[in-house]
Structure 1
Amino acid sequence: MAELHGWLVYKQKDAEVNRGFIMMLTEAAAAINLSLQLIYEEDLSIGISGGLAAIQHPIYDSRNLDFVLMRTINQLLTKQFEAAGIRCFNSSSVASLCNDKAQSYQYVSRLGIEMLDSWFITSRTFNPEKIPFCRFPMVLKQSDGRGGKEVYLVHSTEEIEEILMQYPHKQFVLQQFAEQPGKDLRVFVLGGEIIGAVMRTSATSFKANYTLGGKVAPYVLFPEEAEIVHRISAPLKADFIGIDFLLNSSGQLVFNEIEDVVGCRSLYSTTDVDAAALYMGHIKKTLKKG
């Protein structure tokens, strides 16, 4: 019988395209005597019952849970598990910061790390006359977007306004264009330790995401680059995150964003690092300490 019991929570549509990683995680869990059950977010009902946080699933009982591995972005759900006394990987505080680009920039701005000038705007607050660096082209991205799918290269004020009007209730980041577009570095950090890094490049787009067709290659960090990564990750105390950097004209790192539900395809395709096994090992070690 497994020592500890956990749920692996995905949106159903995301689980369909991540079957390989799900299998790796469940097999890695079983290998160290952990039980890990795939749960679809859509099957969960949450609320307050008898004054306590309640989580209902049509089949499985949340009262037997020791941990939850969150592979979906749902702040309320993560907080519900935590309110019920269940440890989440990552925590709601980490997820909140990482899944909001504006909050991430606010956080990193206090660390003395190079960043692109950025402005936080909505359809209601956008005023180009009040943005000192409004030089085109620029990058416009939704604060809560991920995977490069809500990122736009804009060439005029009219383009910005048109996109903003399509999403009147969304927060956006308007940002300077990178000095080396179509190239970025992703660093994987697990339990505060760097477990790998990949350089992503695209010859056809300013976005280098692997899932959008970018090419990837393994990358070995220089000591000064690793130090920048640790300055970002250490105060967060995150379980597993990806930190993305752009490059300036001199090839130095420029902070871009932090991924909470970090994808591992690029790491598996370029290295021998078994992120699933390392992650489950970290979870067991953390729970044993607690």
Structure 2
Amino acid sequence: MIHIIPKPTDTPDDNSTGAVIRELERADAPYSILDLGAVDPLDSGLENELVWVCGIRQDGHQFETLNVLSLQNRVINTPESIVFCASKVMTTALLLANGVRTPETAYIQSEAQAREFLLRHGKAVYKPLYGYDGNGIRLVTRPEELGPGPWYLQEYIPNDRDFRVFVLGGEAVGAIARVSDSLMHNIHQGGIGTPVPIDEEMRAIAEASASALGIDYCGVDLLRDREGYTVLEVNGTPNWHCMAAPIPKLLAMYLIENERGMRA
């Protein structure tokens, strides 16, 4: 049985969980819906089961419940990898530790250091540490625009688009270019997504990013600069808007294969 934790941001018009459930039903794969809010992880009744986390609320109870469930069950994505992706600092640290290109980044408490970073680059992108869907991201050009710290700052790379690559089981399986006339190209911020082929450089850096975070599947967001692709962030509960690849079917098959592997 595949136990599904639905994405809390699903809507009738944008239902990631439902898209995968439909593929599970076509494959006659048994599943159940798991409400983390109604689970006591110390007495869940789940053991040696597969739990798929389509999405999660950023609250202590859900993270702790997932952590405990992962002790006796196969959880996809693992709580650890979801936490790594949720924290932009941890994502950056793991990418750097594994030699994956990412824009020059600083996580700074000192106002003097933040000012120095900004002055050195001329422009910097401020990102909330635990933000999502592009919310709260802004371009900073003067020290007085920094606001209260601490600050997670990335060098600004001029661009008119970014790329999202969907990686599943270590393999890049789909990609889109997201274009807009603003700083953020995220679909939720008005970006327009178009499927694109996965070139070898894109494949290599996206798959290396997933490996660095030890994650089953993810959305790797890239920019292209003079040297090639560089990783902006990795999303552990990604959407797959506009992708030509049949992501719901691929993801359903991945869950089925993993669940069967547990029974072998």
Instruction: Name 1:202's counterpart in structure 2.
Output: 180
Letter matched to residue 160 of structure 1: L
**Which of 119, 142, 157 is the aligned partner of 2:128?**
142
Q: Residue 43 of structure 2: SS of its match in structure 1?
A: strand
Shift of 1:142: 1.3
CA deviation after TM superposition for structure 1 residue 237, in Å: 4.0
User: 1:165-204 to 2 correspondence within 5 Å?
Assistant: 172-180=151-159, 182-203=160-181
| 1:72–1:283 Cα change, 3 Å | same
Return the offset for 1:105: 0.7
Q: Residue by residue, what CA displacement relative to the aligned partner does 1:146-193 show, whole Å, maximum 9, x if unpaired? A: 11012122232222124x4xxxxxx6411111222x421110001111
Letter in 1 for 2:26: A
Name the counterpart of 1:168.
none
Q: Which residue of 2 aligns with 1:230?
A: 207
> Is the 2:98–2:212 contact (alpha carbons within 8 Å) kept by the matching residues of 1?
no
State the match for 1:117 in structure 2.
104
The answer on 1:159 being equivalent to 2:148 is no
Q: Tell me how far 1:45 sits from its aligned partner.
A: 4.2
Is the partner of 1:173 in helix, strand or coil?
Answer: strand
Q: 2:232 aligns to what? A: 256
**Offset at 1:195?**
0.9
Q: TM-score, normalised by structure 1?
A: 0.79
Matched, 1:104 2:104: no
Q: Output the aligned Cα RMSD.
A: 2.4
Residue 244 (1) aligns with residue 221 (2): yes
For the Cα contact (< 8 Å) 2:94–2:212, is it kept in 1? Answer: no
SS state of the match for residue 127, structure 2? Answer: strand
- Which has the bigger relative contact order, CA under 8 A and spacing at least 6? 2
- Corresponding letter in the other structure for 2:4: W
Whichever residue aligns with residue 44 of structure 1, its letter is: A
Look up the match of 2:80.
93
In structure 2, relative to structure 1, the CA distance for the partners of 1:92 and 1:220 (3 Å cut) is same
Change (3 A) 1:102 1:237: closer
| 8 Å Cα contact 2:46-2:73 kept in structure 1 | no
Runs of 5+ consecutive residues of structure 1 not aligned to the other structure: 48-52, 56-61, 165-170
Q: Which amino acid aligns with 2:112?
A: P
**What's the CA shift for 1:137?**
2.9
Q: What is aligned with 1:167?
A: none
SS in 1 for 2:30: strand
TM-score normalised by structure 2 residue count: 0.86
Alignment match, 2:117? 133
- Structure 2 counterpart of 1:58: none
